[in-house]
Amino acid sequence: MPLEAEIPARLSSVRGRLERAAAAAGRNPRDVRLVAVSKTFGVDYVRAAAAAGQVDFGENRVQEAVGKMEQARGLSLRWHLIGHLQANKARKAAAAFSCIHSIDGADLLHRVDRAAIEAGTRPDALVQVDLAGEPTKHGARPEELEDVFAAARSCEAVHVVGLMVLPPLFEDPEETRPYFRRLREIRDTLAAGGVPPPMLAQLSMGMSHDFEVAVQEGATIVRVGSAIFGERTRE
Ligand SMILES: *Cc1c(COP(=O)(O)O)cnc(C)c1O
């Protein structure tokens, strides 16, 4: 049986896990959006998930994503860029994605805003926070966030709507919990410092193996790939 045929069942199992995690945390499951991460999988997988009611899809490469968007045109899906955004792809990304999760500084934010103005789009954006300080990780360091949110206030087309984190990979989700908690605390500190609440509404955190913990810690967007689509052979 091709995995494609299993997608509806896998998707509903993930939705069930999400609902139970939210309920256990005393939260409304509707306050957590599931982004199905379809990177590396063909458009047939996207169609199978869309037929099962999935609307939000996540991709980590602009070029690959734009190809799928064209093939899936007519399905009215929302596409999220969850991978690193290079400055020279800002124009394409601003034109194509509903939400960009990987804003890593004021410069990139301004660039995406200018591109969105030109393209006539109004994308949402999340500021990715680098909590680990690993050389390979992307994101703004916590001490840079004040500048990024100052830049967010002058955006004309892009709406900054929250924060995103991609923690180092641990097998035990409990080891990831401190990163999720830290992102929530940073959100609270920014709010106390006067950043407008709509700019801090979303916390994008949690993947296939740790999204329940992320929901307990306040995630409003979870990005789930392999639990829905199967194991990937590349990133
Ligand atoms: C690939 C990816 C995911 C999904 O990972 P899974 O473990 O397959 O659920 C989530 N977030 C980002 C940023 C990713 O690159």
Residue 136 predicted with pLDDT over 70: no
Question: Could you tell me the maximum CA-CA distance found in the chain, to the nearest angstrom?
Answer: 54
Burial 42-67 (b: 16+ CB within 10 A, else e): ebebbbbbbebebebbbbbbbeebbe
pLDDT at 70 over 70: yes
Tell me the pLDDT tens digit for each residue of 74-126: 999 999 999 999 999 999 999 999 999 999 999 999 999 999 999 999 999 99
Distance CA 39, CA 58 (A): 7
Distance 166 CA to ligand 1 centre (A): 8
Identify the band that residue 11 occupies on the pLDDT scale cut at 50, 70 and 90: very high
Mean pLDDT of 10-14: 98
**Half-sphere CA count of 215, side-chain side, radius 13 A:** 29
Which amino acid residue places its CA nearest to atom 4 of ligand 1? 225
With cut-offs at 50, 70 and 90, classify the pLDDT of residue 2: low
Residue whose C-alpha is closest to residue 225's, from 75, 78, 25, 82:
82
At residue 1, does pLDDT exceed 90?
no
Decide if pLDDT at 184 tops 80. yes
Return the SS3 of 15. Answer: helix
pLDDT, position 234: 79
Which atom of ligand 1 approaches the CA of 227 most closely?
9
Contact criterion met (CB below 8 Å) for 116 and 96: no
CA distances to 30, 45, 97, 145 from 160, rounded to whole Å, are 21, 30, 14, 12
- Residue 135 clears pLDDT 90, i.e. is over it: no
Q: 97: CA distance to ligand 1 center in Å?
A: 17
pLDDT at res. 3: 79
Ligand 1 atom with the shortest distance to the CA of 164: 13
Compute the average pLDDT of residues 51-68: 98
Model confidence pTM above 0.85: yes
**Contact by Cβ (8 Å): 229, 38:** yes
| 231 Rama sector, left if φ>0, alpha if ψ -120 to 50, beta otherwise | beta
Instruction: With H, G, I as helix, E, B as strand and everything else as coil, classify residue 102.
Output: strand
Residue 232 Cα to ligand 1 middle (Å): 10
C-alpha 163 chain-centroid distance: 9
DSSP state of 201: -
* 38 CA to centre of ligand 1 in angstroms: 9
Predicted pLDDT at 133: 76
pLDDT at 235 over 80: no
Which residue has the CA at smallest separation from atom 6 of ligand 1?
A: 225
Could you read off the pLDDT of 188-209 as tens digits, one per residue? 999 999 999 999 999 999 999 9
Return the pLDDT at 233: 85
User: Mean pLDDT over all residues of the chain?
Assistant: 96
